[in-house]
Chains A and B, each alone.
Chain A
């Protein structure tokens, strides 16, 4: 089975802390994505990566950065956490080939910034 694993299900952090969210996939997928999910707003793309050391901004990159040093791992970094970054964070991966472009998701990390 394809597996996308996010390091934490729940996190509570203080305002101003640097926060790392880790995501690992075991399907050798080229594409990896970070989304945040908020009620009524659906999924919003923060960053994505099509290859190692490659990153592209999504729709809402402000306040976030990412790192992809290895193909299987894609990290989301909150440089200085703020209360408006309290949200559900979802990592996903996919293969770019035409017939298998479905995305596989991790279980999500519910982050609370206090």
Chain B
């Protein structure tokens, strides 16, 4: 069975500091990988995705994630966070065999001024 693990339920970080949100998955088949962001009192929106090709993918607001097949990870990073990055971040995978969508439990990014 497939699963997604986000090891940290909350990550506090000072403004302008770097951050890494961790995501590991388990799957016996190839997957597509996603990071979604949920700002306060809103629905989820896609932040970035890995489908194929370059293992490093970037979002328009400075986040990046790297697909590591050997470690089955897809960690999300940003070199310098801003107060507007305060949100909950969800990692998700879709199996390429049955297109079932599996979610991590989410990580709250808390920016300290």
Contacts and interface: CB of A to CB of B under 8 A. Distances in A.
Interface of A: 4, 33, 40-43, 90, 92, 94, 96, 98-99, 101-108
Nearest to A33: B101
A90 B43 contact: yes
Contact of A107 (B36, B43, B103, B104): B43
A98 B43 contact: no
Contacts of A43: 44, 90, 103, 106
Interface residues of B, number: 22
Give chain B's interface secondary structure class. strand
Contacts of B106: 42-43
Interface of B: 9, 32, 34, 36, 41-46, 49, 51, 90, 92, 94, 96, 99, 101, 103-106
Contacts of A101: 32, 94, 99, 101
A13 to B, nearest CB: 20
Nearest to B34: A102
A18 to B, nearest CB: 24
Contact of B51 (A41, A99, A103): A99
